[in-house]
Amino acid sequence: MRLQKGNKTDRDTVYLCQVGPHVSCGACCGLYNVAEPSRKQLEAMLNRRTKWFEDVQRSVEGIDEFKKEVETAEPQERPFPRFHHCPYLGMIEDTGRRVGCLLHPFAKGNNGVDFRGMSYYGGMACRTYFCPSVRELKARWLTAIRQSMNHWYQLGLIVTEKNLLASFFTEIEDRLQRPIRNEDFSCGTDAARLLRSLANLKLEWPFRRTKAPIGCHYFFEDGLYQRRQDIFGEKELPISPFEDIFVELDSKLSSADELKSAEEIIESIVARLIDCLTC
């Protein structure tokens, strides 16, 4: 399956960092690069940090001390040790609640002062960085993701999966024989629900190889951590139309029966989504 890429212009860039009252993304800040990336555990971690930060003096000393307290209180085991996990991730509380930066000038208690220069990557990176998905995926695909996800946890799981999304949407559009349209997806539709089920595979995939990280992946394009391509090991199994997707789900398929079962899971999502978009 050929991955389709293309350069974007400012006009068709789709903003995905802060989407709505309950939908945002903290993946580039290492949100999922923790030993236990379940929604329950991440929510507890973010809520605790947010509560602690309320009492922090907004000074270099106070913010540095907060970082030390967080890192002392929380396990520092990382699936990707050289992928920074930012201790200043917390919850944005305005008309909703979603993951965000406690150092942002709009964050509660900062009174418009931008403290992001104290973060690991510095203020400029925090203000200007966009993940490879935003730069390289088609705007209509990203719009579908933006419309479909109804919680920050799911958005962050899937939105940085550039290769998986390119393979998936290419398959959908090949079968539809047309590009997907903005009106195909909205949060309450069956199509959106099926797209969320694709995100859920990041946690529920039954063919994940042993010791592969759950939820988190390293999406920076510096070659530091690369996904393994040998999904069949030394087995000679049939070529699969979903092989690219299997790679991105960190799969290890040991038999023809496992390959068939894996294909049935993906095909079920694809086929039902096609039905939704052609009815």
The reported pLDDT for the residue numbered 2 is: 32
Residue pLDDT, tens place only, 164-216: 999 999 999 999 999 999 899 977 789 999 999 999 999 999 999 999 999 99
What is the spatial distance between Cα 109 and Cα 102, in angstroms, rounded to a whole number? 9
Helix (H, G, I), strand (E, B) or coil at 114: coil
Do 104 and 26 meet the contact criterion of CB atoms below 8 Å apart? no
Predicted TM-score (pTM) of this structure: 0.91
**pLDDT at site 12:** 66
Cα-only R_g, the chain: 20
pLDDT at 122: 87
Report pLDDT for 84.
Answer: 95
The CB density around residue 26, as the number of other CB atoms within 10 Å, is 23
Which amino acid belongs to residue 244?
D
- Least confident interval from 22-36, 124-138, 240-254: 124-138
Between 164 and 236, the higher pLDDT residue: 164
List, for residues 120-178, the tens digit of each pLDDT value.
Answer: 888 888 878 889 999 999 999 999 999 999 999 999 999 999 999 999 999 999 999 99
d(CA 51, CA 7): 41
> For position 10, what pLDDT does the model report?
41
User: Shortest CA distance to 87 belongs to which of 31, 168, 161, 39?
Assistant: 31
Mean pLDDT of the chain: 92
Task: Dump strand ranges (E) for the chain.
Answer: 18-20, 23-24, 89-93, 97-101
**Per-residue confidence (pLDDT) for residue 194, from 0 to 100:** 96
